[in-house]
Amino acid sequence: MKICIVAEGCYPYVVGGVSGWIHSMIQTFPQIEFMVLAVVSNREQRGKFQYELPQNVSGVYETYLDDADWGKRSRRKKRTKLSTKEYRALRSVVLNQDIDWEPVFDLFQRRNYSLDDLLMGADFLHIVQETYEKRYPHIVFSDFLWTMRSIYLPLFLVLKTKLPKADIYHCVSTGYAGVLGGMAKYIHNCALVISEHGIYTREREEEILKASWVSGIYKNIWIEQFRKMSQLAYDRADKVTALYAHARELQLDLGCPEKKTQVTPNGIEVERFENLSGKQQEDEAFINVGAVLRVAPVKDVKTMIRAFAFAKKKLPSLKLWIMGPCDEDEEYAGECFDLVDTLEVQDIVFTGKVSVTEYLGRMDFTILTSISEGQPLTILESFAAHKPVVATDVGNCRELIYGGGDSFGTAGILTHIMNTEEIADAMVELGKSGKVRERMGECGYQRVRSRYQLEQMKKTYEDIYEEAYDILYERLSSEREEEM
């Protein structure tokens, strides 16, 4: 069996989170040959892997959302025209009406031409003019035209990707990764599994609504683009997984057929966090708060720093350890360093990338102040180490802390996002009481052992891969019978 993992903006270039999950999945199935098809921003990231690839990874293929035009340019003054079928299919995508993706796949996979020719040509112009007249006649056409070109260039680049052949394509999001998976199913007649850690469409909506680079009606146009790409992935998939029940409900709301969906919680190797080294002599005077994360805007490290500054005034023995890489967004990391200096707060340590098992035993509790999450592995790892957690109410954090109907009890404190006062008070509350920390840590440990172990996740995905392979076999057998 060959499986192609399709990942956007993560593995193997970024440490932690979804990347860590992919790395763990590949290692969990050493008997399976994996390939990785990575969607990255541009060629500057080429080959800059943050993981040592497991031996069962046979290749890493890259596709870029911003790249040079490698297509064949027409030497004639008149640009290459689309066929009637191609024109109608591309029109259906742009207008988002009864989309016919297969001729679009053929257009980009089986013909070699310049994307510049297409985007600057008469066919695309006429499609955009029709879209404009039907839906957006009140805005400036020249602005609309250039926006549409900027929206469709990354999609067209993805659609030109040469797809490695595999039995199963396993996409770890919808979006551009899902487009690749949907196209691979058509081109290679493979099975398609979609595993969403966060709900891609909703995450892009939130980003766009908050963004300063796009305004007004153009926010809606970008959001619609991500919705139609995700719908393609849902429609073409054989199996669609979510990490928790509410995420599955969001998938259904976004148009994923219910019969395809399944909840598949994360799993970790709990045994890795047994017998961790405890506090060192230098730690005895402090209540250590651990934050295992990438220093990036989505983790809202600035709010964490501000909250810690307030908490430390009330409880001076607090010490914050920010454990994770600082090079993903160097500008944001620099702003975090500057904020520490501006606030003149002491006892904040940026460790950089570390082995979490070398530090977690020294912590009294951990903290996560993200503005968006799925089902954070860092919370599961904290529970495995008997450490309670302060976390914002995003993704599956509420269920992890309070339980989804189990009887284990509360395993930490939940706060609202970007609420400096609540987060500070939570740090003080846990910092003041060792008994509370011990009780909550034990609740978390029992929860993770009961529901979130690696072996449980492995069994789930063994079944999913077998089911997907069976679906593929039945489909191929049926096609052969029809040919006969």
Non-local CB neighbours of 77 within 8 Å, separated by 6+ positions: none
Please report the pLDDT score of residue 484 as a whole number: 64
Non-local CB neighbours of 192 within 8 Å, separated by 6+ positions: 168, 169, 171, 181, 182, 184, 185, 233, 236, 237, 238, 239, 468
Please state which architecture CATH assigns to domain 270-451. Answer: 3-Layer(aba) Sandwich (3.40)
Q: Which residues of the chain have pLDDT under 70?
A: 70-80, 484
Beta strand pairing call for 287-292 and 412-415: unpaired
Q: Where are the domains of the chain?
A: 2-69+160-263, 84-151, 270-451
Interval 307-336: pLDDT, tens? 999 999 999 999 999 999 998 889 999 999
Please report the pLDDT score of residue 476 as a whole number: 82
Please report the pLDDT score of residue 77 as a whole number: 47
Instruction: Give the closest residue to 415 by CA, choosing from 319, 300, 277.
Output: 300
Within this chain, domains 2-69+160-263 and 270-451 share the same CATH topology: yes
Please report the pLDDT score of residue 80 as a whole number: 64
Sheet holding 412-415, edge to edge: 348-352, 318-323, 287-292, 365-368, 389-392, 412-415
Please report the pLDDT score of residue 75 as a whole number: 55
Please report the pLDDT score of residue 72 as a whole number: 63
Please report the pLDDT score of residue 16 as a whole number: 82
Please state which architecture CATH assigns to domain 2-69+160-263. Answer: 3-Layer(aba) Sandwich (3.40)
Please report the pLDDT score of residue 41 as a whole number: 92
